Amino acid sequence: MRNSRILGLGCYVPPKVVTNDDLTSLMDTTDEWIRERTGIRERHFSEDNVGAADMGATAARVALERAGVAAHEIDAVIFATLSPDIEMPASACVLQERLGIGGMLAFDVKNQCSGFLYGLAAADKLIKTGRCERVLLVGAEVHSTGIDLTTRGRDVAVIFGDAAGAVVLGPEDDTARGVLSTHLHAEGKYAEKLWLECAASRERPRLTEEMVATSNRIFPRMEGRYVFRHAVTRFPEVIQEALAANGYTVGDLSLLIPHQANLRISQLVAMGLELPEEKVFNNIDRYGNTTAASIPLALQEAIDADRLRSGDLLCLAAFGAGFTWASALIRW
Amino acid sequence: MPATILGLAHGLPPEVEVVGVRRPIAADPVGPSDLALDPGRRVLEQASITAADVDFIIFATMTPDVTFPGAACYFQDKLGCGTIGAMDIRGQCAGFLMSLLVAESFLDAGVYRRIVLAAGEVHSSGLDYSERGARVAALYGDGAAVTMLGPAATGGVAAVVCHTDGRLHDGFWIEYPASRQHPVRVTVDDLRAGRHFPKLDFDLVARFGRERLPAVVGEVLTRARIAIEQIDHLILSHVLPEVGDDAARTLGVPPSRFINATAAHGHLTAASLPVALSEARTVGRIGAGDRVCLAACGAGFAWGAAVLTL
């Protein structure tokens, strides 16, 4: 059975930069507090009427061009997001419209911070088994319209930024190259440790004027310490799982790209695995947590910085809301 | 290696009269993961396995219990499935078929051996039952179905095809909450204007369905290398039940071999097809070894079909 590999990669970050100091005018926080706890210095926010698929389309055009694939040659669109442009249909459909394509399989994956890797796993299996030849996988989020930018919401609001990343995947006949394996996990018992409740289909009605006007139920809420503790356990676990599944150990790894949730988490994970700093790529300082977009965005910058070369053993790993966590091992 | 169906069950909440029709309507605070729980337990029994033996969960829904995480995470916890992967797929009316295709790929790649595929919707909490929205609200119901899939040497899922054309996405949509709206996704004004309720262009949606349902059935039968006469049961899902009837007539399938998935309970979106399949099996209309063709067409616009043997 063949493998899949990334044929092209593209990213889009909206131009508006929001620094920690900018946030201090909206809420009671400080640059020092944010940097110390998260490593974030600034993030980007999209403009009015720019949704996840709008940004995703820009990223996708770059990825398609770099892959040498025309948009109409794509036979599946997978869109990972927890902040779709509209409530229904999926952002994958809006993306098709923006790219002027239609007819192929297209769906959204809602798996939060692990969304890109869940989408990658699905794309990989569709290609591996010969069901698809060219899959466009997009991870994009517009968080800025769904966070509570007041003192009440500051613990979560300071973390998130908007961005999009896209990859085009195609077949790789050399089974020692490309995506070697993917590993997916979840633990729904912690669903409400990091969540966005409303609109909630289980509420009747699922949206009320009270929810929208005054409550914090339409914004994400988090028990930070809880998330932190699980993240520093699950990240190393799922990285080791990917390595072991392929007969490798941490020493064989060329580069680890962790989902950019919090710099302190990435640092603790690297320390626990005894991975030297140059083998872990972080860029959360400039983008914040961009959820489904963070891995392709970091991957792009790692390539641009010449931190990843052909033949390198690359591990992508994520942990976040759900809880969900995941990894992929790639021979680049 | 094809996927085979090792278990299939459905769960519908009690019927209630709303806007002049009887529909299965979930009670507060029931979400799709709750509706899927009892069928989930029953498919474990049918497959003679425990929750610990399940390798992966896919949940097809457009109406997750909360905004995030997805319904799969809640369902995974309720069913007691440890720390296995749990994925939400959003593919509207074709969500079950898209999830079936993804599940089949994971099985075929040899990654997993037991996949629980849930499809469930709680629409009732997001419908406008006032006079303004009654025509649309009357179309929908709540429900869920769960399928257990595993690899098989023979039988099972013969073919699945899925298509989407997002260029028509605003012909059948729910616009708000919309992440693209600054500074907040949904406002009190949006709610008062009813922008968070489903809207559909009835003529466009009907025309598209009448054309695509017969076409996609033809396509999947060609893929499975069988003739329509060899199909024991045709199950069609379209938000407007009369469109399903028209498509069956176009295909020349007589009422004795046709099941309209949205006629009895209203439109259950991702859950319509598996609920209809499970229900037909429960009442003895579909038996072991019967060859079934399923097709759906709806919002996205997304459409697809599958041929399988129970």
Closest-CA residue of chain A to B91:
A107
Judge contact between B142 and B26, C-beta under 8 A.
yes
Residue found by looking up tokens 């952002």 in the block? A91
Quick check: B66 and A198 in contact, CB under 8 A?
A: yes
Q: Tell me how far apart the alpha carbons of residues B15 and B129 are, in angstroms, rounded to a whole number.
A: 15
Say if residue B205's pLDDT is above 90: yes
Cα-trace Rg, chain A: 19
Name, in order, each residue with C-beta under 8 angstroms of A179's C-beta and a sequence gap of 6 or more. A3, A4, A5, A6, A120, A124, A169, A172, A328, A329, A330
Mention every residue, 6+ apart, whose C-beta is less than 8 A from residue B127: B133, B136, B137, B140, B197, B198
Residue B266 has pLDDT above 80, yes or no: yes
C-alpha separations of A7 from A67, A170, A305 in Å: 5, 6, 19
CB contact under 8 A, A47 and B182: yes
Residue B21 pLDDT greater than 70, yes or no: yes
Residues of B in contact with A203 (CB under 8 A): 28-29, 125
pLDDT string in tens for chain A (332-residue length): 999 999 999 999 999 999 999 999 999 999 999 999 999 999 999 999 999 999 999 999 999 999 999 999 999 999 999 999 999 999 999 999 999 999 999 999 999 999 999 999 999 999 999 999 999 999 999 999 999 999 999 999 999 999 999 999 999 999 999 999 999 999 999 999 999 999 999 999 999 999 999 999 999 999 999 999 999 999 999 999 999 999 999 999 999 999 999 999 999 999 999 999 899 999 999 999 999 999 999 999 999 999 999 999 999 999 999 999 999 999 99
Mean pLDDT of chain B: 97
Interface of A with B in 98-157 (CB under 8 A): 100, 102-112, 118, 121-122, 124-126, 128-129, 131, 141-142, 144-146, 149
**Which residues of chain A make contact with B74, given a CB cutoff of 8 A?**
188, 191
Chain B positions in Cβ-Cβ contact with residue A108 (cut-off 8 Å): 89-91
Asked if B191's CB is within 8 angstroms of A209's CB, the reply is yes
pLDDT at residue B103 above 70? yes
Residue B274 parent element (H or E): helix B272-282
Domain B3-154 sits in which CATH superfamily?
Thiolase/Chalcone synthase (3.40.47.10)
Contact (CB<8Å) B166/A94: yes
Say whether B180 and A51 touch across the interface (CB within 8 A). yes
Q: Is B189 near chain A, with CB under 8 Å?
A: no
Contacts of A208 in chain B (CB under 8 A): 191
A203 interfacial to chain B (CB closer than 8 Å): yes
Radius of gyration of chain B (CA): 18
**CATH class assigned to A3-174:** alpha beta
pLDDT for position A24: 97
- Rounded mean pLDDT, B47-65: 98
d(CA B260, CA B249): 12
Answer yes or no: do B28 and A203 touch at CB < 8 A. Answer: yes
For residue B216, give the H/E element and its range.
Answer: helix B202-224
Q: What residue ranges do the domains of chain A occupy?
A: 3-174, 179-331
Amino acid at B200: L
The answer to whether domain A3-174 and domain A179-331 are alike in fold is yes
Q: Which of B26, B108, B166 sits opposite A95 (nearest CB)?
A: B166
CB atoms within 10 A of CB A62: 18
What is the model's pLDDT at position B155? 73
Residue A185 bridge partners (DSSP): A325, B84
pLDDT at position B269 over 80: yes
Closest residue of B to A187, CA-based? B83
When pLDDT is averaged across residues B25-30 and rounded to a whole number, the result is 94
* pLDDT, position A227: 96
Same fold, B3-154 and B160-309: yes
User: Which CA distances in Å does A22 have to A18, A25, B181, B184?
Assistant: 6, 6, 21, 18
| CA nearest to A219, candidates A287, A159, A139 | A159
Of B76, B108, B185, the CB nearest to A146: B185
- Residues A148 and A153: their CA atoms lie apart, in Å, by 5
Mark yes or no for CB contact B86/A322 under 8 Å: yes
Per-residue pLDDT tens digits for A74-95: 999 999 999 999 999 999 999 9
**Architecture in CATH for domain B160-309:** 3-Layer(aba) Sandwich (3.40)
Count A/B contacts: CB-CB distance under 8 Å: 300
Interface of A with B in 19-48 (CB under 8 A): 46-48
What is d(CA B198, CA B30) in angstroms, rounded to the nearest whole number? 20
CA dist A309 and B190 (Å) reads: 49
Is ipTM > 0.90 here? Answer: yes
Q: Which residue pairs, CB below 8 angstroms and at least 24 apart, start in A20-24? A: A20/A158, A23/A149, A23/A154, A23/A157, A23/A158
Give the separation between CA A183 and CA A186, rounded to whole angstroms.
11
Where are chain B's structural domains? 3-154, 160-309
| pLDDT of residue B153 exceeding 80 | no
B84 at A interface, C-beta within 8 A: yes
Q: Could you tell me which CATH class the domain A179-331 is placed in?
A: alpha beta
Query: How many angstroms separate the Cα of A12 from the Cα of each of A84, A138, A140, A145?
Result: 16, 11, 9, 18
- Would you call B120 an interface residue with chain A, using a CB distance cutoff of 8 Å? no
Could you report the per-residue pLDDT of A194-251, keeping only the tens digit for each? 999 999 999 999 999 999 999 999 999 999 999 999 999 999 999 999 999 999 999 9
Dig out the tokens for B244 from the structure.
């399903």
Q: Using an 8 Å Cβ cutoff, are A145 and B184 in contact?
A: yes
Site from A1, A26, A99, A110 to mutate, B interface, most B CB atoms within 10 angstroms? A110
According to the model, what pLDDT value does residue A176 have? 97
For residue B202, say if its preceding peptide bond is cis, omega within 30 degrees of 0: no
Q: Where does the pLDDT of residue B152 fall: very low under 50, low under 70, confident under 90, or very high at 90 and above? A: confident
User: pLDDT band at B1, cuts 50/70/90?
Assistant: low
- The first and second tokens of residue B68, run together, are 């995030």
Q: Write down the residue that tokens 């319209």 correspond to.
A: A145
Please report residues of A whose CB lies closer than 8 A to that of B102. Answer: 122, 125-126
Q: Is B98 on the interface with A (CB under 8 A)?
A: yes
CB contact under 8 A, A201 and B196: no
Nearest CA in chain B to A77: B164
